Every structure is written in structure tokens, then in C-alpha cells.
Amino acid sequence: MKILQLNVWNGRLKGALTRYLSEHDYDIICLQEAVWSEADDFLGHFVDTLEDLKEASGLEYDARVSNWGIDMLGGEATMEQGIAILSRYPIEKVEKKLVHGEYSPKMAFNNKNGADPDQGYYALKAKLENGLTVLTYHGYWLPNPIGDEETVRCMREVADMLRDESGPVLMCGDLNVIYDSPAMRELDFLTDLTHETGTKQTLMNLKFVKDVACDHVLVSDGVKWSNFEVHKELVSDHAAVSVEIEI
């Protein structure tokens, strides 16, 4: 299976993102900062929506959860922003877990220095028909990629969703921390391929100009992996990260 991890930056680089997905053949895609709306046709004039990404990838199945919403069209519609898993394989079961904050349908954007209190930080887990458990999480954000005690607590909540899984596990996400963060020790029962490959940067230096490997792909024991790659194509403020796995 070919896996993609990508924070899509609200689909801002419209066209580049859908072209990229249409030109690659992924089996499972984990997305953060994806957007969708009941007025998707309108929203799609400006950004690549989750429905656009799903169509471009050719993947039939999806699970999603919104972190926050915001009014559009004078309050007649809402744009949702959140995380999603796209899959070539049927999804048998979905679990959504709120680890910090609270979902708001009317995001205020009133905190520029850390995690917005109007935002819900969710983890999303999907059990696939082929036996693989996939989890994605958009990490609790602080300016320092080391994080703090709350970062650790949130990651522990996420890790608890996977600790007792007996089958193969794949976890992908913009975790908003680097490997040396204490929060990543909560995931030491998985193998962090971003760290294993010596990856030092997964940002495209469009918004944050610094070397930070905050996009992680982790697998459980017994999952074989190869061809880990941080792609250079400009599709977001984050790089697309891919890997091939066998279970």
C-alpha cells in the first residue's frame, strides 16, 4: 500500500494539490486542514475542497471530523475545517476522540499565539476491511515545536487509542512537534519513520521559515515499510510525505 501524509493548508494552492493527487497512485491518504461545506460548489471556486481531493485521488472511502467551522455566504452555509482519512479499502469502523478544546461552528480566530480555545483538537481512527488500523491527528499547536505539558497530555490521549490494537497500525499526522518533544515519547511503542529516515524538514518555508519535521508517519511492529519520501512538489505549506507499507 502506498501512503500519503499531508497538511493541505485549507486547499489554498488550488489546482496544484488536485493535480498532484491525480498524478500519484495512493491507497491511503491522511489529511489535516482539509475543508468542506454543504456549499461545496461555491467553496470549490476558491480552494481545493475535500471532495475535490477525494475525486482527484480516485479513493472511494473516507472518514472525517471537523475541528471548527466558519460562516459563509452571510451565514447561509458553513465551511468546515478538519482532518480526514481517504482509503481505497472499505472502512469498517470509525472512532473520533476530542483531546483538547471544543468544536465551534463559528471560529473566532482570536488567539494568535497558541491553540485557539474555539478549536477542537480531534484524533480520527479508522479500521479498514483489510485489517489495518489508521489514525490521523492534527497536533495541539504551540509556537515551540517541543510543546508543553498539555501537548504531552493530548498525545497521551491519542496514543491510548492505539496501545491495545493487536493488528497492524499506521498513524500519520502533522503532530506540530518534532521527534525530540516529550510528547513523542507517548508514541514510542510505534516506529516513527520520519525519525528513522533522518528527516529534518517537512515544511515548505512558505509560512514558517525554519527546519521542523512536524509531519510524522508511524507504524507498529511487523509492518514492513520502504521508499519513505518527502516530496518537493509545492502543494501546501507542508511537504507531501509518502511511504509504502506491507502488512
pLDDT 10s digits, 61-99: 999 999 999 888 877 888 999 999 999 999 999 999 999
DSSP secondary structure letter of residue 162 = T
Which residues does 105 contact at the CB level (< 8 Å), separation at least 6? 68, 69, 78
Cα–Cα nearest to 231, from 64, 10, 17, 85: 17
Q: What is the pTM of this model?
A: 0.95
Specify the pLDDT at position 78.
Answer: 85
Domains, the chain, ordered by start: 2-246 (3.60.10.10)
Specify the pLDDT at position 109.
Answer: 63
Specify the pLDDT at position 73.
Answer: 82
| Ranges under pLDDT 50 in the chain | none
Specify the pLDDT at position 129.
Answer: 98
Q: In terms of residues, how long is the chain?
A: 247
8 Å CB contact between 40 and 49 = yes
The x, y and z cell numbers of residue 127, run together, are: 479500521
Specify the pLDDT at position 63.
Answer: 98
| 3 state DSSP class of 16 | helix
DSSP secondary structure letter of residue 242 = E
